[in-house]
Chains A and B, each alone.
Chain A
Amino acid sequence: MAIHAAAHYADHAQDDHHNHKPHGFFNRWVFSTNHKDIGTLYLIFAFIMACVGAAFSGVIRTELMKPGLQFVQPYFFNQMTTMHALVMIFGAIMPAFVGLANWMIPLQIGAPDMALPRMNNWSFWILPFAFTILLSTLFMPGGAPAGGWTMYPPLAIQGGNSVAFLVFSVHLMGISSIMGAINIIATILNMRAPGMDLLKMPIFVWSWLITAFLLIAVMPVLAGAVTMLLTDKYFGTSFFNAAGGGDPVMFQHIFWFFGHPEVYIMILPAFGIVSEIIPTFSRKPLFGYQAMVFAIASIAFLSFIVWGHHMFTVGMPLGGELYFMYATMLIAVPTGVKVFNWVSTMWGGSMSFETPMLWAISFVILFTIGGFSGLMLALVPADFQYQDTYFVVAHFHYVLVTGALFAIIGAIYYWWPKWTGRMYNETWAKVHFWWSMVFVNVLFFPQHFLGLAGMPRRIPDYNVAFADWNLVSTIGAYGMFLTPIMMFLILRRSLKSGAPATMHVWEGTHGLEWTVPSPAPFHTFETPPVIHDEDLAHGDITH
C-alpha cells in the first residue's frame, strides 16, 4: 500500500519548501499557522495543565488520606476540588484532543493544513490567557472558585471576586473551543483529498466531526448560563433567584444541557483513537466500520436529551425522572455496539501488544467499567442513594481517566514516531503502562466501595469507617503522580536518542498519515495526494 501516495509526495512536495520552518521562537510558535506546530502547542499545554490539575488532586488525596482535618482548611479544599475539575476538563482533556485533531486530521484526510489556519492560531492562543486568568484566582482575596465546577447557584455566586474571573475565563475557553470546532468541521467537510469519501474517512476523523458539532452546539449554552450567573451576582437579575420568579434549578437544567454533551465531547475522540489503534495491532480492519460511525452519531444525538439524569434528586416531576432514566439507559445500546465491535476486531486477529495497544485494550476494559457504573447511576431509585457520593467520583474517573486520558496517552505513543521520527523505549513505555494500570485501579476502584458505603464527595473530613479505603486510594494517587514524570522522561529520551522510525512505524498501519515520511515534514500534502482505496483502512471495505 501507500506506494502511490508516497511517490506522489516525492514528486510534488519534497522539492518544494516543505521544510521552510519559520525562523525564531516567536515566528515559529506564537505566530504559527501550521497545524502540526499548533497541535504540538495544544499537547504541551494539555500536559502542563494535567500536571497542575494533578497537583490539585494531590492536595485533595493527601487531605483525605486520614479522617480529620490534617493539612488544609475546608474552604481551600473546596477550591481544590473545583479547580481540579475545571483545569482537567477544559485545560487538559479537551485541549489534548484538539491537539491530536490538529496534528492528525489534515494528515489523515490528505489536506495541506487546517481550513482556517489563522483562526487555528487564535483557538490555541486564547487558552494560555484563559487559564492564567482562572489560576490567578487562587491568589485573590477570597480565593479561587469553591462552589464546584458545575457552578451551581446560589453557592457559586456567593464566592468573592473570583466569580467574575471564573465566568470570563469560561467565556474565553468557550470562544477557543467554538473556533477550534468550526475549523475542524470546515477542514473535514472541505479539505478532503479527492477519493476520500465521507464513509472512507478514518474513524478518528469521524469521531471528531461529530464532537465538533457537539462543541458548537453546547459551548454557547454554557456561555449563556455563566453570563446569567454573572448578571445575577453583579447586575441584579433574578434568573436563579426564586424571590424574583427565577429558580436555582433552572441553572442546573441549562448547565447540564451543556454538561452532558460535554462529557461525550471528552469521550468520542477517545473512541476514535481506540478504533485506530486496535485494528493496527490486530492486523484486521475495524469490525463494523459503518456501525461505529452510526453509533457515534447516535450517542451524540442522545447526549442532547438525557441531561436530567444529573439532577434526579433536585425534585423533578416523576414523568421527567422516568423519561430521563429510560433515555439515559438507551445510550448503553450504541456504546455496547462499539465495545463489541472493538472486541470483534481483535477476535481472530494476529495481535501484538505494543504499548499503544496495551493502552487501547485497557481502555476497552476500564471504560466499560465506567460505563456500567454509569448505567447504575442512570436508575432513578439507585441514584437517590448514589447521588453526591464517592461512587459518582469513581464512575466519572473511570470514564475520564481510564477512558479519555488513557486513550490520549495511547494516541501519543501510537503517533509519536510519526511526529518525531523516533521510536520510544518499548520496555520503559510498558513499565509506564503497567504502573499506570495498577495504580489507577488502586486509586479509583476503592472509591466505588466508599461511595456505596455512603461517603459523600467534596468533603475534606469523613467518618472513620471510611478510613481504610481512603488510605488505599491515596496510595494509588501517589503512584499515579509518578506517571507524568515517567512519560516525560521516556519521551525526552526518545527525542534525544530514540531509534529512527520507519515510514509505516507499525506493521499493520493503514491510512494516509503513514504515507508521509517520519518525522512528518513541516508541510504535507501541499497538493492533494492521489488516493487509491487500498491505501485506506476502509477504502475498499463495505461493511
Chain B
Amino acid sequence: MAQAQGAYYVPHGTRWPFLGSIGLSSTVVGAALWINETTPYGKYLMAFGIACLLSMMFGWFRTVIGESLAGIYSKQVDTSFRMGMMWFIFSEVMFFAAFFGALFYARNMSVPWIGGEGDGALTNFFLWKGYTPAWPTNGPGAIGGSFESMPAWGVPLLNTLILLSSGVTITIAHHALRAGRRTQLLIWLGATVILGALFLKFQAGEYIEAYTKMNLTLGSGVYGSTFFMLTGFHGMHVTLGAIMLSVIWLRCLKGHFDKDHHFAFEAVAWYWHFVDVVWLGLFMFVYVL
C-alpha cells in the first residue's frame, strides 16, 4: 500500500471552497424560493448561486492545474486524487442505486400489492377495487392520464450503441495519450465528445416526443416518475461528463498531460465509463424489461 515518501504538498489557505458554500446555499435557497413561489426573485438568487459555483470551479481547477503543471504534485498526491475520484464515483453509484431501488420496489412490490397479490388482497378490495397490476402503469388512480410507454428498440438502442462506442473511443484516446500520439488523442477524444453530444440530442428528442406525442410525463404515475428521474439524472451526468471531456480536450490541445501524468484525463474517463454502465442498467431495466 502506498505510504508517505518525502514531503506531501499541503496548500496554505484557499478561498474557493467558501465561495462554493455561498454558491451552493444561494442555489438551493433560490431553488426553494422558486418552487415555493414565495418571491419572484428565487430564480435570480439561484442564477447567482450557480454563477458562484461556476467561478469556484473555474478558479479552483485553475489553481490545481497550475500546481500540477508546476510539478508540485508527487506520486502520493496523485494517489490521493485518484482515491478521491474513485470514492466520489462510488457515491454516485449509490445515488443511482436509490432510484433503481425505487424502480424495483415499485415493479415487484407496490404495484402487485395494490393489485391484490400477497398480503395486498384487502388493500385491493377496499381501496383499489378493479385495478389489475401491470407494468408500465400510472397506478389505480391513472395519475397523469393514459400514456404510451417508451419502446426500447428505437432511439434507446441507438443511444446504447452510441454510448458503448464512446467508451471505445475514449479508450483509444487514452492509448494514444500514453503512446504520445497527440493528433490521434485529439481526434478520438473529440469523437467521444461528439458521441456524448449526439446521445444528448437523441435523449432530448425522446423527451420531446414523450411530452408532446405520448402524454408520458414526470407526472405519469410511478412509471413516469421512475422513467424520467432515472433517465433525467443520467442525462445530467452525461451532460456533466461531456463538459468535462470538452475541458480535457481543450487541455490536450494546449499540450497538457504526458504519458505518465494525466490524472484528470483518467478521472474523466472513469466518470464516462461510470455513466456508460449506468446507462446499460437503465437500458435493461427501464426500457427493455
**Interface residue A122 (Cβ < 8 Å from any Cβ of B):** yes
Residue numbers in B under 8 Å from A216 (CB-CB) = 87, 90-91, 94
**Interface residue A506 (Cβ < 8 Å from any Cβ of B):** no
Within 8 A of B (CB), among A229-249: 231, 234-239, 241-247, 249
Closest chain A residue to B15, Cβ basis: A31
- Digit string of B219-238 for contact with A (CB within 8 Å is 1, else 0)? 10111111011000000000
Pick from B94, B106, B127, B143: contact of A221, CB below 8 A. B94
The answer to whether A225 and B98 have CB atoms under 8 Å apart is yes
Given contacts A193-B3, A250-B110, contact A231 B218 (CB under 8 A): yes
Known: A125-B17, A186-B83, A192-B1. 10 other contacts (CB 8 A): A111-B4, A112-B7, A182-B91, A198-B1, A219-B91, A221-B101, A244-B139, A245-B140, A526-B10, A528-B4
How many whole Å from A461's CB to the nearest CB in chain B? 32
**Interface residue B60 (Cβ < 8 Å from any Cβ of A):** yes
Within 8 A of A (CB), among B1-56: 1-8, 10-18, 20-22, 24-25, 28-29, 31-32, 35-36, 38
**Interface residue B102 (Cβ < 8 Å from any Cβ of A):** yes
Pick from A196, A245, A250: contact of B3, CB below 8 A. A196
Pick from A189, A245, A250: contact of B221, CB below 8 A. A245
Per the bound structure, the CA–CA distance linking A303 and B288 in Å amounts to 33
Given contacts A190-B2, A243-B139, A244-B143, contact A161 B94 (CB under 8 A): no
Per the bound structure, the CA–CA distance linking A258 and B164 in Å amounts to 32
**Interface residue B195 (Cβ < 8 Å from any Cβ of A):** no
Q: Among A171, A225, A315, A528, which residue has the most Cβ atoms of chain B within 10 A?
A: A528
Which A residues lie at the B interface, using CB under 8 A?
20, 22, 27, 30-33, 110-113, 115-119, 121-122, 125-126, 128-130, 132-133, 161, 164-165, 168-169, 171-172, 175, 178, 181-183, 185-187, 189-196, 198, 216-221, 223-225, 227-228, 231, 234-239, 241-247, 249-250, 253-254, 257, 315, 317, 523, 526-528
The answer to whether A247 and B105 have CB atoms under 8 Å apart is yes
Closest chain B residue to A130, Cβ basis: B25
How many whole Å from B34's CB to the nearest CB in chain A? 9
Per the bound structure, the CA–CA distance linking A400 and B141 in Å amounts to 43
The answer to whether B80 and A115 have CB atoms under 8 Å apart is yes
The answer to whether B137 and A245 have CB atoms under 8 Å apart is yes
Pick from A31, A195, A221: contact of B13, CB below 8 A. A31
Per the bound structure, the CA–CA distance linking A243 and B114 in Å amounts to 9
Residue numbers in B under 8 Å from A317 (CB-CB) = 118-119
The answer to whether B83 and A221 have CB atoms under 8 Å apart is no
Per the bound structure, the CA–CA distance linking A77 and B87 in Å amounts to 40
The answer to whether B139 and A245 have CB atoms under 8 Å apart is yes
**Interface residue B258 (Cβ < 8 Å from any Cβ of A):** no
The answer to whether A246 and B17 have CB atoms under 8 Å apart is no
Per the bound structure, the CA–CA distance linking A133 and B217 in Å amounts to 31
The answer to whether A245 and B106 have CB atoms under 8 Å apart is yes
Residue numbers in B under 8 Å from A111 (CB-CB) = 4, 8
The answer to whether B119 and A133 have CB atoms under 8 Å apart is no
Given contacts A220-B92, A526-B7, contact A182 B83 (CB under 8 A): yes
The answer to whether B4 and A243 have CB atoms under 8 Å apart is no
Closest chain B residue to A128, Cβ basis: B21
The answer to whether B32 and A168 have CB atoms under 8 Å apart is yes
Per the bound structure, the CA–CA distance linking A192 and B1 in Å amounts to 9
Which interface class (under 10, 10 to 19, 20 to 34, 35 or more) fits B?
Answer: 35 or more
Pick from B4, B10, B16, B225: contact of A239, CB below 8 A. B225
Residue numbers in A under 8 Å from B10 (CB-CB) = 33, 112-113, 117, 523, 526
The answer to whether A238 and B91 have CB atoms under 8 Å apart is no
How many whole Å from A78's CB to the nearest CB in chain B? 20
The answer to whether A254 and B14 have CB atoms under 8 Å apart is no
**Interface residue B192 (Cβ < 8 Å from any Cβ of A):** no
The answer to whether B76 and A190 have CB atoms under 8 Å apart is yes
Pick from B15, B94, B223: contact of A245, CB below 8 A. B223
Main secondary structure of the interface of A (DSSP, over half): helix
Which B residues lie at the A interface, using CB under 8 A?
1-8, 10-18, 20-22, 24-25, 28-29, 31-32, 35-36, 38, 60, 76, 79-81, 83-84, 87-88, 90-92, 94-99, 101-102, 105-106, 109-111, 113-114, 118-119, 127-128, 137-141, 143-144, 217-219, 221-226, 228-229
Residue numbers in B under 8 Å from A223 (CB-CB) = 95, 98
Given contacts A198-B1, A238-B138, contact A245 B222 (CB under 8 A): yes
How many whole Å from B73's CB to the nearest CB in chain A? 12
Closest chain A residue to B63, Cβ basis: A118
Residue numbers in A under 8 Å from B36 (CB-CB) = 161, 164
How many whole Å from B84's CB to the nearest CB in chain A? 5
Per the bound structure, the CA–CA distance linking A117 and B8 in Å amounts to 11
The answer to whether A242 and B114 have CB atoms under 8 Å apart is yes
The answer to whether A238 and B225 have CB atoms under 8 Å apart is yes
How many whole Å from B120's CB to the nearest CB in chain A? 9
Given contacts A31-B18, A245-B111, A250-B110, contact A168 B28 (CB under 8 A): yes
Per the bound structure, the CA–CA distance linking A449 and B138 in Å amounts to 47
Residue numbers in B under 8 Å from A241 (CB-CB) = 139, 141, 143, 222
Per the bound structure, the CA–CA distance linking A60 and B10 in Å amounts to 46
A-B contact pairs, 28 of them (CB 8 A): A22-B13, A112-B7, A112-B8, A115-B84, A116-B80, A117-B14, A119-B17, A129-B25, A164-B35, A168-B28, A171-B28, A183-B84, A186-B83, A189-B2, A216-B91, A228-B99, A231-B225, A238-B221, A239-B102, A242-B110, A243-B139, A243-B143, A244-B139, A245-B110, A246-B222, A247-B105, A250-B102, A253-B105
Residue numbers in B under 8 Å from A116 (CB-CB) = 80-81, 84
The answer to whether A191 and B8 have CB atoms under 8 Å apart is yes
How many whole Å from B5's CB to the nearest CB in chain A? 7
Closest chain B residue to A216, Cβ basis: B91
Q: Among B24, B29, B31, which residue has the most Cβ atoms of chain A within 10 A?
A: B24
The answer to whether B3 and A237 have CB atoms under 8 Å apart is no
Given contacts A190-B80, A190-B83, contact A246 B4 (CB under 8 A): no
Q: Among A231, A243, A249, A528, which residue has the most Cβ atoms of chain B within 10 A?
A: A243
Residue numbers in A under 8 Å from B90 (CB-CB) = 216-217
Per the bound structure, the CA–CA distance linking A376 and B152 in Å amounts to 50
How many whole Å from A216's CB to the nearest CB in chain B? 5
Given contacts A165-B32, A243-B141, A527-B7, contact A238 B222 (CB under 8 A): yes
Residue numbers in B under 8 Å from A244 (CB-CB) = 138-139, 141, 143-144, 221-222, 225
Pick from A126, A189, A245: contact of B83, CB below 8 A. A189
